[in-house]
Structure 1
Amino acid sequence: MVRLPNPDGTTRAYRPRTAPRAFAAGAPFASRTVFSAAHVVADPYADTDPDSPAAVDWDATLAFRRHLWAHGLGVAEAMDTAQRGMGLDWAGAAELIRRSAAEARAVGGRIACGVGTDQLPGPMTGPLTGRAGLDAVRAAYEEQLALVEETGSQAIVMASRALAAAARTPDDYLELYARLLRQAAEPVILHWLGPMFDPALEGYWGSTDLDTATETFLEVVAAHPDKVDGVKISLLDAGREVELRRRLPEGVRCYTGDDFHYPELIAGDERGFSHALLGVFDPLGPLAAEAVRVLDTGDTEGFRALLDPTVELSRHLFRAPTRFYKTGVVFLAWLAGHQDHFAMVGGLQSARSLPHLARAYELADGLGLFPDPELAAARMASLLAVYGVNR
């Protein structure tokens, strides 16, 4: 029995489960393409501060990717789940891409990697604007695209803070994405990340009106369907995603990035479905993989029965301010035994409260996500002791 803290300062009794839930490893899926965006494991012994370059524990980071591949999931590398722009700079991301791509080749795992512009100065140092800014954004995208393609990975073209700052009209987006897509050697995934994940992306595609922005986004796709494998939609708006996916050109996939509504979007309806590229599949990996294998048999009800109960945990992890969901993801990886510590690059382990983490533990334990419930309970107790709980 452990006593978990409530937001009002009281505590509640919780009895952890005693038996682990078994999830079998397996091959990739037949009915859906599914990526898990993966977190990075910090090196807790590095003498760093929040302004230092990220110090990464490469062995633990790559071991976690092998864990995802073993369950048939693809890895979406160097995305916002890996703390791009929130502790992991471009130099660190480039090294992560190289190492993960090599590991993917060694084990036969599927990998797609984020292409952004985070080598450019940010708002605190004065972003470039106008034509010079747009040219700098294009060059930064091209540099990162070249590196990802050199590793043999699929490219995920992420939304750019620098482009959001430099662009003035939808035409700026249309022109820049057109030039970038023409250069891509293989079809890419375009990522529309909403401002709930990154406030600096407010007004992306040239408008704060989502209907207008959607039209510009779809215009980019329609102009280059041969260069777009799919689009990842991270707006936490299931209705908008469904409407958008129904308007995609033939052969262009929709990858849901909606961590609030993913079961219904992946299950789909009579007019189609979404594939998946989700940060919440980092902690849910084995369970999510089992659910998709059930869906492969045509058993939609069985798929929903497995995955629907996970939504409460996901909504908790991704609650506002949503951009700090990474803290809960890494916390659960520590409790699950995938790493030996609860430390994050940039010190982001402090970004969620103790009651928030306690509720995440309770929900994850209830779902059977921990291979060793006793270890998870002991680690939870050790964290509570640090905060003076249960003394």
Structure 2
Amino acid sequence: MKPIQIIQKVSKRYSLLQYKVFIIATISSMSLVAQDLTLDSCISLAEKNYPLIKKYDLVKQSTEFTVDNVGKGKLPRFNVVGQATYQSEVTSLPGGAGPVISKDQYKLYGEIIQPLTDLATVEKQKQLAENKGELEQQGLEVDLYSIKERVSDIYLAILLLQSQQKVLILTKESLTSGLMTLEAGVKFGSVLGSQASLLKAELLSLDQKVIELQSARSGYIQMLQRFIGQEIEPDAKFIEPEINHSGRQINRPELALFTTQTQSFQLQQELINVGNLPKFSLFLQSGVGRPALNFLSNDLEFYYIGGLRLHWNVAGFYTSKKEKENLVLRQDIVAAQRETFLFNTNLQLDNWEVHIQKSEQLIEKDTEIIDLRAQVRKTAQEQLEHGVITATEFKDAVINEDKARQNLAIHQIELLQVKQRFNLSTGNF
């Protein structure tokens, strides 16, 4: 749901004629979280409880295994080779001199190879494996970041419902006071019973609104329980957070992801360059063969051979240029994505700043309106006691004050929500 939609949705339902909300659940004989809840603690619990968090350790372990395996490329390699062949022709000396060499030949040997120049390749492969692990971790960070926004919306919606319920309690107290005055008048015959019935009906209407508020609060609490993985007492107290308006410096996890993606392409380019270089290695080969190293011997003999080996796959030069150009293009794509992300984020920040200013101005006016409406209601109370006004006029004065207080509650929570959205947009949460 978009930024202020939850608050707007609730505020529309809580007009003078209707206050819509979800229910307080009755939760008993279960493990319950502490009575006092804070926004920070709920976000922290939600992040720990979210199923995606389990991937963190799995990705970390997978990366460690991969890096460890790549690092073994520095170790000597040992091969065992066996061969049995039948040849159409064998080595012979002119004139038929020398031994007769069998056309069926056999060889079995072991070979130890110690790479010399593969060390650079192995290091680049390790860096690339670590980079891949970072990419997966940062992708998880980006996915988890939305949890903060969703939990914040639910938490602040609960705060709004609490505030509106408190306002209704004050309104009921004012109407009850007026009803007591009218009932006294009815008792002595100075006031019609219908006047008292009017306020009784209004009080019953307020009771309905309280039930709706409690119902709405219960619905949001059930959603919050699902996120944090713990159950919440029906009478739990939700502490109003102090949310400060942070600076515009953007520290979102998406930026770290873009940086790591760029580093990945750079490492791949370096790996291509290293892979095209000649490769040298030391080797030692030892075994038995018929013939062995002496091709004029027809006996099964032991032999060994060692030395320096060169291997150069020049076919890599055919494709390396295009491969590196493709990696540069992919870096440009990531750079464009980063620029677009920053552009859109700054647009959001501009919008949040306008809403913050608007909410602050509305709250200032709400306070003034409440003072005036309270004065009118007090005067109406006195006039009702002296029989100067009717129950309808008194009820209107009380409801107008209630409406002003409800508007203040909405605007105060809306201000908290917009500030929270601003901080979440910058990543300075």
Question: Which range, TM-score by smaller chain?
Answer: under 0.3
Q: Comparing both chains, which one has the higher relative contact order based on Cα–Cα distances under 8 Å and sequence gaps of 6 or more?
A: 2
Higher helix share: 2
Larger Rg over CA atoms = 2
Q: TM-score if structure 1 supplies the norm length?
A: 0.18
